[in-house]
Structure 1
Amino acid sequence: MLKSLQKYLSRGLTKVEIMENPATRRQLSGRPLRAESGFSLLEVLVAFSILALSLGTLMQIFSKGLELASMGDRYSRALVLAESTLATIGYTEPIETGESSGAFDNVYDWSIKIQPHNLEDLDASSLDLSLYHVQVMVAWENRRVFLETLRFGPRT
């Protein structure tokens, strides 16, 4: 290293000028000279490929999460519609044996099925009421929600 330093000093360069020049500093340190420092094209391509695969996987995860959240929202709405329909039967809507159907906002279809419920163990002849089995179904796309209950209604 001293011989190399003396070679540069003999050319009239000061020590500061020698050390400020990256090429001479590398020569004095004994490391081989490289034309350029930085990333090779292969390293950049590998890093970009890893980044692209990672982003693709993350996008699939987020997409599936949004799809499941949307499905949960539609299921919750259908359940609320079924519960509210079931709640009206016997209060605002009379209990009558039979079936009826309709649609909510052309998205959800509903159907109601009301049948008399047999109570073999109970002598209900003295009651002015009958027990009915009420079923409500709300459907959307290829999914359905069923709710059912027993309600008292007028004797038929």
Structure 2
Amino acid sequence: MIGSRPQSQQGFSLLEVIAAIMLLAIAFTALMKVAGASISLSQNAAEHSEAAMWARSLLDTAFVGEPLQAGSRSGQFDRKYRWRLDVSPWNEAGAAPPAAPLHLYQLDLDVLWGPPAHPRSAHFRTLRLTGPQTDGSGNMQAPR
């Protein structure tokens, strides 16, 4: 017979091979999308970890050797990361500040990176306790 295969001939038809290649291409595309997303998430996590490292360093060394003062400061860690630190006296909501020699200050730190038009950021907040400070003659001064 013309066009029929003998029983001894085995294998895949061209249509089956094309279908298998198409299925592999679709699976490979999906796998590459997952791998790309994984790389993006890893880079994002690394950037946030580095921002946290810079923040910890700044918060650990802020106002060491100088009196703590309310206000704002800003600067740059390196070419990629920049920061803004806001310091304000802290007291419980609705409560009058205590008349004690120790005072709490709230430090709010924003670490920014990426393009200035669309920066990425991480926010850090901590409290810092200050005691009475002395002027050059040893007399006590109220914290500023």
* TM-score interval, normalised by the smaller of the two chains: 0.7 to 0.9
Does residue 102 of structure 1 match 2:102? no
The 5-angstrom pairing of residues 65-104 of structure 1 reads: 65-91=38-64, 94-104=67-77
Kindly name which structure, 1 or 2, has the bigger radius of gyration based on alpha carbons: 1
Alignment partner of 1:120: what SS? coil
Does residue 123 of structure 1 match 2:99? yes
Q: Deviations over 1:88-112 (max 9, x none)?
A: 1232564222211112222111011
Greater CA drift, 102-111 or 42-51: 102-111
Structure 2 Cα separation of the partners of residues 110 and 121 of structure 1? 29
Alpha-carbon offset, residue 143 of structure 1: 2.1
Count of residue pairs the alignment pairs up? 122
Give the RMSD, CA atoms, in angstroms.
Answer: 2.2
| 1:53 paired residue among 26, 34, 43 | 26
Output the amino acid matched with 1:122. Answer: P
Structure 1 Cα separation of the partners of residues 123 and 6 of structure 2? 77
Change (3 A) 1:92 1:71: farther
Does residue 148 of structure 1 match 2:125? yes
Higher helix share: 1
Contact 1:90–1:151 (Cα < 8 Å) also in 2: no
Alignment partner of 1:43: what SS? helix
Off by >4 Å, runs of 4+ in structure 1: none
